[in-house]
Structure 1
Amino acid sequence: MGDVIYEALQLAGILAFALSGALVGVRRNLDILGVVVVGAATGTGGGILRDMLLGVHPPVSFLHWPNLAVAVAGSLVVFFVHPGLTRIRYFEVVFDAFGLGLFSANGAALAYASGQTFVTAVLVGTITAIGGGVIRDVLVNTVPGVLTRELYAVSALAGGAIAVSIGAFGGGVILGSLAGGTVAIALRLTSVARGWHLPRPKFSPEPARGATDSTEPSPGGSGA
């Protein structure tokens, strides 16, 4: 039963991030291949980075076909049904928030269970959560959202810290993933709704022409 829940969490996170990435591709008017590439990279990129950091070679997504299949299928669904998705940027944020919560917590809990220290496990979880989104933003030529948007990395760090804390008290990977993921999702969505940001320079130059996309409320994410 535990393995089934763990697999479901993994695939749910991949799907959420793939949907958010594919929506960005649609908004950038990419063709079907471009949408699938951006969606799949967002869905699986963070997990691949996590596996590399933990010494898992080759990464799980290269061997476990459902990971890539879910990412590609989700991207194709977005490509064909996006005219019916009103408020596209709202969906981007929601899907990304769920992916962020699931993978920041799950990545951290998994790293801690593999013998990493508290701090290392939290950092691994954060990289798992933001890695795919960074790859996506590079692909669409945007400043990575984790550097500009509402408490994005902070939410991932909080979710990872809670997951590892629960693991330290014997709570296990699944409980830590659920609890930490819930906190990360709630914090991320609340920060978007209320416009919470980390401090920015008091006096800064105007953004360069063409760099305004970095302030849009579209997310950054990853998967496993």
Structure 2
Amino acid sequence: MEQLFLILELVGTLAFAASGAITGLKKNMDVFGVCILGLTTAVGGGVIRDLLLGITPPGTFQDPIYAVVALLTSLVLFLPRIRRLLMWDQRLYDLVLLIMDSAGLGIFTVAGIRIAYEHAARPTLFLLVFVGVVTGVGGGVLRDVLAGDTPYIFVKHVYASASLAGALACVVLWPLAGEMAAMLCGSALVVAVRILSAHFRWNLPHAHD
């Protein structure tokens, strides 16, 4: 179980690092900027989660594998050939960013819930869902702030709401179906809601509506 969870976290790290690095590429950042954006997106939510739960130092600083995966992913995407492949077609860029961001969001949302179960003295529904959503969206918020954009969760499609739906599903299914089934269902729901909202252009009401 621990090995499978580690694999899921590494996949989420890779996915979020890619979304951060791609954002940096679009902003014409140098290699340092692209790597920092990829790293921050990948580990930011987990750092915020650990601080909320009183885990110090945060797990990212105890095991460098997550930072290493994030930095390597960012460096690979910065390679001229890969960069040209991604940037020449806006539709390809948007699709890759959507898939990577959705995968990272789903995996980190349920990963946050698992960590909260392990470390919280009284893991209430509110605590579990809150920590899951913060873990899922935290890195993306930091990415957008560093990139000089309005955080994605406030303006683009259904984002934090997808994380919230997946977190609720995961917490509800946890005692009924077991840990792994709940995590897989929760993360799959997040990805499905994100993909469908992007395809059908679902949005929450905006202030100008």
Q: TM-score scaled to structure 1, two decimals?
A: 0.86
Is 1:48 the equivalent of 2:55? no
Query: Which position in structure 2 is the counterpart of 1:92?
Result: 97
Could you say what secondary structure the match of 2:106 adopts?
Answer: helix
Partner Cα separation in structure 1 for residue 85 and residue 208 of structure 2? 41
Pairwise CA distance, 1:14: 0.7
- Structure 1 outlier segments of 4+, above 2 Å: 112-115
Deviations 1:13-61 (A, max 9, x none): 0110000000000000000000000000001100111111111100001
Deviations 1:114-148 (A, max 9, x none): 44211111011000011011111111111101011
Could you say what secondary structure the match of 2:28 adopts?
Answer: coil
Partner Cα separation in structure 2 for residue 170 and residue 23 of structure 1? 37
Query: Which position in structure 1 is the counterpart of 2:153?
Result: 146
Partner Cα separation in structure 2 for residue 112 and residue 197 of structure 1? 32
Query: Which position in structure 2 is the counterpart of 1:219?
Result: none
Partner Cα separation in structure 1 for residue 133 and residue 95 of structure 2? 23
Pairwise CA distance, 1:202: 4.3
Query: Which position in structure 2 is the counterpart of 1:7?
Result: 6
Pairwise CA distance, 1:163: 1.1
User: When you count helix as a share of all residues, which structure comes out higher?
Assistant: 2
Q: TM-score scaled to structure 2, two decimals?
A: 0.92
Query: Which position in structure 1 is the counterpart of 2:108?
Result: 103
Deviations 1:67-104 (A, max 9, x none): 10000011111111221224212211110000011111
Pairwise CA distance, 1:162: 1.1
Deviations 1:145-172 (A, max 9, x none): 1011111011000111111112233612
Query: Which position in structure 2 is the counterpart of 1:182?
Result: 188
Is 1:160 the equivalent of 2:167? yes
Greater shift after overlay, 108-117 or 7-16?
108-117
Query: Which position in structure 2 is the counterpart of 1:16?
Result: 15
Partner Cα separation in structure 2 for residue 69 and residue 175 of structure 1? 29
Pairwise CA distance, 1:111: 1.5
* Identity over aligned pairs, percent: 36
Partner Cα separation in structure 2 for residue 96 and residue 162 of structure 1? 20
Could you say what secondary structure the match of 1:169 adopts?
Answer: helix
Partner Cα separation in structure 2 for residue 14 and residue 44 of structure 1? 7
1:124 aligned residue (127, 131, 139): 131
Could you say which structure has the greater relative contact order, defined with CA pairs below 8 angstroms and 6 or more residues apart?
A: 1
Task: Specify every segment of 5 or more residues in structure 2 that has no aligned partner in the other structure, as ranges.
Answer: none
Partner Cα separation in structure 2 for residue 175 and residue 75 of structure 1? 31
1:198 aligned residue (180, 193, 204): 204
Query: Which position in structure 1 is the counterpart of 2:84?
Result: 83
